[in-house]
Structure 1
């Protein structure tokens, strides 16, 4: 799992994690001092829907407040947002970062608005199925203060570092799919329309979509010429994710299946299937 944004694009510098836990080198090079910054006003999407293969990115903004001795415009100052599971601390795992550091725009002599991204690569094993659900948000910053992070003799006593958790939260959800086929087509008015489909969701470990069993799925209808779906009834997916529901044909229109989602799995609506009533 990738747990830190690399800084290969920034003069080949080390990842910030090298500064967060320099215990193995502390005897030789000291430890970073606590950088005079704090983070607030963290904004992120309410949910991040992740499939089986494609990279997913979500935008993040936050306010960085800093002391007068911190130069956020320096070439060797970096900050980034991240997500983590569990209690915040050095052992917080897993963690999700972006591909690049955030960019910050000063709003006063001691504050800046920073914009970054969180990136997820499901095909590279970033997530386990058990990790779907609520993730907490944090941010960090480092000031190298002229120290070369690629040097084997870097003086960590001259480097400032600060991270902060519990800035917000989001749902990292397994992407879901839902199909529908309404039949017969056409249908005689007053007869039964049967809608069948299948509910599946992303399996982050096998990188395939698998059945989502025993989930409530709504059968909905939208009359031709209107824009609103009405729920007819609620049924449950079977052990194989299959869904079957029936309704009465009264008007021409679209039949669909709808899944409201769970904390771990994203909501989804099947594309409506048009049935002509004769």
Structure 2
């Protein structure tokens, strides 16, 4: 689920669709479809804006105007979310919710869930939530431990390439009876990264001792705008070798990928073993190592 561009009233409403699953439904009654979540939450959120409440999906650090009396803390999220070109990626988030004595978190009228956003809290360029509300377990009359997912679908246009990098995390709660919404950002950070791939082919096979082994491969990463993989250009890539019968790779040299993401490196054949390329990663792209290619030395 996403918010693209400005996170204005209506798009903010779409972001809340994932939370339109009452807590009671998690206990056993059948939940509506994902489209129903979107429709119901959009209507509730848009109604609160048309009523002049002034609440937006990401308005203040802890906006409780017309929303449930809740605050959030202890949020934990993965350090990185690696997103490819087609498959939905789900990331579990946990957090503590503290609420007023008058807030019934088991009511059909109440739902809560985590979200992540790119950019500033007041004006995020994009955001993502889960398809369903978080599940919460009461730890006292006014606190609960909650767990929910962030769901990202690259094939449905949830991301553009500029979204790669550091995102902030938060949590929100809504009540349906008055279309109230409370949210709190800056509770943590994660990296949303363009999934990477790296290949290697070493040869000749076999090779005579003292002769040259040439390794070729390609470093590529997901493009979220055309849903293909393209070469990651001008990036440092290590050529590594593992002697047969051992478990540790040693770096032989570092080369750069070319303007197409292709990688080529040469080394002297000394022992039977495995050759691979390894990329350390960047903020926008995760680290990756190719599977070792075995070369027999005569």
> Normalising to structure 1: TM-score of the pair?
0.88
Q: How does 1:94-173 map to 2 (within 5 A)?
A: 94-144=126-176, 147=177, 156=178, 160-173=180-193
Check conservation: 1:19, 1:32, Cα contact below 8 A. no
Name the counterpart of 1:15: 41
Matched, 1:74 2:94: no
User: Distance between the aligned counterparts of 2:277 and 2:289, measured in 1?
Assistant: 6
User: Distance between the aligned counterparts of 2:117 and 2:157, measured in 1?
Assistant: 16
Alignment length (residue pairs): 262
Mean Cα deviation higher: 195-204 or 9-18:
9-18
SS in 2 for 1:221: strand
SS in 2 for 1:33: coil
Equivalent of 1:223 in 229, 243, 251? 243
The structure-2 alpha-carbon separation of the partners of 1:246 and 1:71, relative to structure 1 and needing over 3 Å to count, comes to same
Equivalent of 1:248 in 261, 268, 276? 268
Deviation at 1:264, TM superposition (A): 0.7
Name the counterpart of 1:259: 279
SS in 1 for 2:148: strand
Name the counterpart of 2:118: 85
Equivalent of 2:290 in 257, 264, 270? 270
Deviation at 1:86, TM superposition (A): 1.4
1:40-91, Cα deviation, whole Å (9 max, x unpaired):
11111100111111111111101111111111111221001001111113x4
Name the counterpart of 1:2: 2
CA RMSD of aligned residues (A): 2.1
The structure-2 alpha-carbon separation of the partners of 1:107 and 1:247, relative to structure 1 and needing over 3 Å to count, comes to same
Equivalent of 2:225 in 200, 205, 218? 205
SS in 2 for 1:22: helix
**Which 5+ residue runs of structure 2 have no aligned equivalent?**
4-14, 22-30, 54-63
Name the counterpart of 1:25: 51
Name the counterpart of 2:205: 185
Deviation at 1:143, TM superposition (A): 2.7
Equivalent of 2:259 in 201, 215, 239? 239
> Normalising to structure 2: TM-score of the pair?
0.83
The structure-2 alpha-carbon separation of the partners of 1:17 and 1:51, relative to structure 1 and needing over 3 Å to count, comes to farther
More helix by share: 2
Deviation at 1:248, TM superposition (A): 1.6
Name the counterpart of 1:54: 87
**Which 5+ residue runs of structure 1 have no aligned equivalent?**
148-155
